[in-house]
């Protein structure tokens, strides 16, 4: 059995390499961002909603999926569908090779040392829970402290609260200023010999703030404390190099990265992942099972019990190919231009207040309009075909910090246009008109 | 899809701007809090029951125009009603906004509340319209907390 497995792995690696070489390429001429051409890669965007062309400004909730990702998913379902790591038969080997190929793509995308450090999970929430169970429950005890920031998504708050409750540990919070920037001097003061983990959001989904994660990691490491970075919003807007950041965990969410829901990644340093407890128990994560004792598989299988979301994870690999095939620097520049443009235009409207004005921001704009409730804004914009998010963005403490019940949020991806920002602005003027 | 103006009718906008019975009720003997966990909306309904009659009713809280106007008009329409009558209205209102009751075809006591019929074309907003009614229902039953996620 072992021999077969090893042989299979060798084959798989060969196929993986082959697949990586002929990844689809879609290069727009260097430096110039041809947004109209890019939009054609995303079939969703050509729809009309309520008789108006769809203006999709909710990529921070879920980004749209390019045709190449859809095609890759249907290829798996149509030609390769079978379970991974379980069969010696042809289909299972193809599925395994595609699945592992995706892991290798993730590795390169975030510059992890080895693919085994990239554990597949179903999303960012599951990823953070994996670290809570695997690392937190094993190493954090009564009296210990966990530091998170004031702008975390609920997914990076609630698991730690659950752990604190269970262990008698304490949650401490890095405050932020009125611009929505973390107060790093306060962070330093929170670190002490009881601190066991720091969890911080890379880019705030509620404010757009880009946090100086590298600096935060360096500070925490001076105290010997590992750092988990919630990269759900980081990876879509920045180039991620986990070795350069030197973070201990980096969590990705596929559906924010132009891939299907059900895909995601926990990057962790091998040294930590090795020492951690497994998360979910079951098939695939074992080395051997008897009724007396189970020994666990090595990385990454130890953390991947059960049949994963294979089509989605393969889709994530295809999404990464897509991103690699574009001029990413130009894409990110385009997003920054949209951010600046939309910010300026929104600021022209009397009654609009932008929440989150950090110096370093991604193309996510939270705002309020007079005292009009964001849900009403969202409904009226929807009638114009404009999709935004309205609510607390799973970040109620952020809302409390700014003393507002909710915000409206427009988030821009590289496929959005200035015209769409203009449409947003006119629609907000209409909202004000309705509520006059 | 109905027109946006069916949803944001003048009456609704007016109740949003000037909600009626929008305060804490001194002398209330029943009270419940309602939450819509999806959007964070939160409101409290206060009742002063005398025997089986809603002698007085009020509400407080934060929410969108639909939820505020619905709460405001809810208080107006249940004041003076018996508990049974208020419950009947709750059920009728709920069935109307979820599209189970054709308020024009089937006899009912909704009256002015019919202006919320348009909400049924906006599934994401049905809970906004019904939050105050769920909270009223909870208060009538002596429960402290209502949620739209039942
Ligand atoms: C910053 C951040 N963290 C975590 C999450 C949760 O991610 P997922 O939906 O993949 O579980 C989100 C998305 O809502 C997010 O924006």
What's the pLDDT tens digit per position in A84-130?
987 789 999 999 999 999 999 999 999 999 999 999 999 999 999 99
Report the domain count for chain B. Answer: 1
Using one digit for the tens of pLDDT, what is the confidence trace for A265-315?
999 999 999 999 999 999 888 889 989 998 999 999 999 999 999 999 999
Handedness of CA A417, A418, A419, A423 (dihedral sign): positive
d(CA A214, CA A212): 6
Quote the pLDDT of residue B57.
97
Is A403 found in the same domain as A274?
no
Mean of the per-residue pLDDT values of chain A: 93
Is A392 inside any structural domain?
yes
Output the DSSP codes for A198-227: EEEESB-TTT-BB--HHHHHHHHHHTT--E
Angle at the Cα of A168 (from A205 to A217), degrees rounded to 5? Answer: 40
Identify the pLDDT of residue A18. 44
- Distance between CA atoms of residues A27 and A379, nearest Å: 37
CA distances from B52 to A41, B21, B86, B136 (A): 64, 20, 10, 14
Q: How far apart are CA A300 and CA A103, in angstroms?
A: 10
pLDDT at A13: 46
Question: What residues 64-93 of chain B have any CB closer than 8 A to a CB of chain A?
Answer: 64-66, 68
A392 and chain B in contact, CB less than 8 A: yes
Asked if the C-beta of B29 comes within 8 angstroms of chain A's C-beta atoms, the answer is no
Residue B50 is assigned to a structural domain of this protein: yes
Q: Provide the domain limits for residue A427.
A: 328-435
Q: What is the CATH number of the domain that holds A360?
A: 3.90.1150.10
> Residue A34: how many CB atoms within 10 A of its CB?
14
Q: How high is the pLDDT of residue B124?
A: 86
Does the residue A277 lie in any domain? yes
Six token digits for residue A288: 């051997």
CA atoms within 13 A on the CB side of B84: 2
**Alpha-carbon distance B109 to B106, whole Å?**
10
Task: Report the pLDDT value the prediction gives residue B40, as an integer from 0 to 100.
Answer: 72
Mean pLDDT of A11-25: 46
Q: Is residue A12 part of a domain?
A: no
**Atom number in ligand 1 closest to CA A230:** 3
Decide which of A300, A324, A348 is a domain's last residue: A324
Name the nearest CA neighbour of A231 among A207, A209, A204, A268.
A204
Beta-strand relationship, B30-36 and B41-50: antiparallel
Residue A426 has a pLDDT of 97
Separation CA A166–CA B49 (nearest Å)? 43
Burial of A6 (0-12, 13-18, 19+ CB in 10 A): exposed
Q: Which of A50, A379, A396 sits opposite B7 (nearest CB)?
A: A379
Mean pLDDT for A195-212 is 98
* Residue B150, in any domain of the structure: no
Is the same domain home to A115 and A198?
yes
Do A172 and A260 lie in one domain? The reply is: yes
Three-state SS letters, A350-416:
CCEEEECCCCCECCEEEEEECCECHHHHHHHHHHCCEECEEECCCCHHHHHHCCCCCEEEEECCCCC
pLDDT in the model for residue B3: 76
Number of domains in chain A: 2
CATH number of the domain encompassing residue B50: 3.90.1010.10
Which has the closest alpha carbon to A249: A233, A234, A265?
A265
Residue listed under structure tokens 């798996």: A76
pLDDT tens track for A25-67: 444 456 789 999 999 999 999 999 989 999 999 999 999 999 9
Q: What is the CATH number of the domain that holds A199?
A: 3.40.640.10
A179 touches chain B (CB under 8 A): no
Cβ-Cβ contacts under 8 Å, B35 against chain A: none
CA distance A251 to A229: 6
The residue from A118, A124, A247, A394 that is catalytic is A394
Place of tokens 């003027």: A429
Chosen domain end from A324, A339, A360: A324
DSSP state of A114: -
For tokens 């001194």, the residue is B26
pLDDT of residue A5: 40
Q: Cα-flanking dihedrals φ and ψ of residue A191, to 5°?
A: -75, 135
Q: Residue A427: which pLDDT band, with cuts at 50, 70 and 90?
A: very high
- What would the mean pLDDT of A134-147 be, rounded to a whole number? 98
Check whether residue A335 and residue A430 sit in a common domain: yes
- Structural domain contains residue A48: no
Active site residue A394: yes
In the DSSP assignment, the letter for residue A45 is G
Domain boundary at A324, A339, A361, which?
A324
Is the residue at A39 inside a domain? no
Q: Encode burial over A355-387: b for 16+ CB neighbours within 10 A, e otherwise.
A: bbbbeebbbbbbbbbeebbbbbbbbbbbbbbbb
Strand B30-36 relative to strand B53-62, pairing: unpaired
Q: At what angle do helices A418-434 and A374-383 cross, to 10 degrees?
A: 120
Residues A130 and A271 in one domain: yes
- For range A217-232, the mean pLDDT: 98
Tell me: do A183 and A222 sit in the same domain: yes
Residue B53's domain comprises: 4-145
Which of A215, A213, A287 has the alpha carbon at shortest distance from A250? A213
Percent of chain A with pLDDT over 70: 93
**Which pLDDT value is given to residue A58?**
98
Among B111, B102, B125, B26, smallest CA distance to B73 is for B111
pLDDT score for B135 = 96
Nearest CA in chain A to B61: A405
Residue A313 lies in a domain: yes
CA A231 / ligand 1 centre spacing (Å): 9
Q: How far apart are CA B125 and CA A219, in angstroms?
A: 46
Residue to mutate, A129, A153, A238, ligand 1, most ligand atoms under 8 Å from C-beta: A153
Residue B145 DSSP one-character state: E
Q: Is B59 part of any domain?
A: yes
What's the pLDDT score for residue A283? Answer: 87
Domain shared by A315 and A386, yes or no: no
Asked if residue B120 is part of any domain, the answer here is: yes
- Is A223 a domain residue? yes
What pLDDT shows up at residue A3? 37
Task: Report yes or no: A213 and A203 within 8 Å, Cβ to Cβ.
Answer: no
CA triple A350-A335-A345, angle to 5 deg: 15
Packed helices B126-140 and B83-97: angle between N→C axes, nearest 10 degrees: 160
Give the other-Cβ count within 10 Å of A288's Cβ: 9
Which ipTM did the prediction report? 0.88
Instruction: Tell whether A255 and A351 lie within a shared domain.
Output: no
Tens digits of residue pLDDT in A152-199: 999 999 999 999 999 999 999 999 999 999 999 999 999 999 999 999
Q: pLDDT tens per residue, chain B (150 residues)?
A: 457 878 899 999 999 999 999 999 999 999 999 998 777 788 999 999 999 999 999 999 989 999 999 999 999 999 999 999 999 999 999 999 999 999 999 999 999 999 999 999 998 899 999 999 999 999 999 877 776 654
Cβ contacts (< 8 Å) between B39 and chain A: which residues?
A: 375, 390-392, 406
A296: CA distance to ligand 1 center in Å?
29
How many whole angstroms separate alpha carbon A119 and alpha carbon A270?
Answer: 11
Q: What is the pLDDT of residue A2?
A: 38
In this structure, the answer to whether residues A128 and A189 fall within a common structural domain is yes
C-alpha–C-alpha distance, residues A143 and A245, integer Å: 29
Q: What is the CA radius of gyration of chain B?
A: 14
Is residue A64 included in any domain, yes or no? no
- What is the pLDDT at residue A4? 37
Residues A301 and A375 in one domain: no
User: Burial level of A78, CB count in 10 A (0-12/13-18/19+)?
Assistant: exposed
Output the pLDDT for position A29: 52
pLDDT in tens, A326-378: 999 999 999 999 999 999 999 999 999 999 999 999 999 999 999 999 999 99
pLDDT confidence of residue B149: 57
Q: Do A340 and A265 belong together in one domain?
A: no
Of A10-19, A69-78, A164-173, A346-355, the least confident: A10-19
In Å, how far is A145's CA from the nearest CA of chain B?
29
The answer to whether position B40 is within a domain reads yes
* Chain Cα centroid distance, residue A30: 27
Kindly tell me the burial class for residue A110, based on how many C-beta atoms sit within 10 Å of its own C-beta (0-12, 13-18, 19 or more).
buried
């Amino acid at each position: 059995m072992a021999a077969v497995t090893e042989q299979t792995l060798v084959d798989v690696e060969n196929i993986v390499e082959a697949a990586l070489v002929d990844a689809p390429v879609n290069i727009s001429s260097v430096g110039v961002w041809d947004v109209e051409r890019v939009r054609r890669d995303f079939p969703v965007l050509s729809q009309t909603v309520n008789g108006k062309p769809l203006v999709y400004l909710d990529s921070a909730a879920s980004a749209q999926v390019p045709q190449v990702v859809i095609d890759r998913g249907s290829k798996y379902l149509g030609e390769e569908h079978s379970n991974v790591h379980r069969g010696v038969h042809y289909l299972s080997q193809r599925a395994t090779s595609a699945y592992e190929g995706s892991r290798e793509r993730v590795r390169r995308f975030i510059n992890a040392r080895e693919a085994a450090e990239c554990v597949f999970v179903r999303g960012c929430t599951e990823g953070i829970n994996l670290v809570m169970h695997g690392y937190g429950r094993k190493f954090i005890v009564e009296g210990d402290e966990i530091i998170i920031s004031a702008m975390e998504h609920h997914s990076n708050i609630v698991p730690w609260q659950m752990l604190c409750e269970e262990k008698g540990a304490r949650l401490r919070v890095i405050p932020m200023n009125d611009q929505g920037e973390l107060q790093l001097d306060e962070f330093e003061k929170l670190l002490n010999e009881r601190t066991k983990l720091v969890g911080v959001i890379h880019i705030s989904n509620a404010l757009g703030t880009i946090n100086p994660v590298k600096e935060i990691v360096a500070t925490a490491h001076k105290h010997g404390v590992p750092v988990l970075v919630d990269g759900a919003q980081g990876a879509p807007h920045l180039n991620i190099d986990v070795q350069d950041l030197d973070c201990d965990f980096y969590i990705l969410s596929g559906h924010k990265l132009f891939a299907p829901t059900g895909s995601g990644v926990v990057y962790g340093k091998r040294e930590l992942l090795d020492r951690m407890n497994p998360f979910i128990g079951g098939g695939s994560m074992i080395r051997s099972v008897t009724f007396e004792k189970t020994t666990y598989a090595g990385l990454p299988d130890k953390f991947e019990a059960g049949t994963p979301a294979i089509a989605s994870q393969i889709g994530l690999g295809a999404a990464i190919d897509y991103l690699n095939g574009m001029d990413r620097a130009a894409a990110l520049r385009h997003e920054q231009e949209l951010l600046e443009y939309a910010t300026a235009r929104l600021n022209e409207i009397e009654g609009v207040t932008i929440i989150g004005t950090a110096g370093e921001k991604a193309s996510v704009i939270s705002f309020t309009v007079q005292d009009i409730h964001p849900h009403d804004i969202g409904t009226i914009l929807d009638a114009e075909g404009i999709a935004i998010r309205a609510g607390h963005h799973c970040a109620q403490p952020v809302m409390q910090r700014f003393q507002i019940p909710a915000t409206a949020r427009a988030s821009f991806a590289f496929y959005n246009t200035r015209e769409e920002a203009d449409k947003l602005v006119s629609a907000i003027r209409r909202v004000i008109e309705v509520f006059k | 899809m109905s027109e946006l103006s069916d949803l944001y009718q003048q009456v609704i906008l007016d109740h949003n701007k000037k909600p009626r019975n929008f305060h804490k009720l001194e002398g209330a003997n029943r009270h419940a809090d309602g939450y819509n966990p999806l959007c964070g909306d939160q409101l409290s309904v206060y009742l002063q029951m005398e025997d089986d009659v809603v002698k007085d009713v009020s509400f407080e809280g934060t929410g969108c125009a639909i939820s505020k106007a619905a709460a405001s008009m809810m208080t107006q329409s249940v004041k003076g009603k018996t508990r049974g009558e208020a419950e009947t209205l709750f059920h009728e209102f709920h069935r109307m906004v979820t599209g189970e009751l054709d308020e024009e075809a089937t006899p009912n006591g909704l009256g002015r509340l019919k202006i919320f019929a348009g909400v049924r074309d906006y599934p994401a907003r049905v809970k906004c319209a019904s939050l105050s009614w769920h909270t009223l229902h909870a208060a009538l039953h002596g429960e402290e907390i209502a949620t739209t996620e039942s």
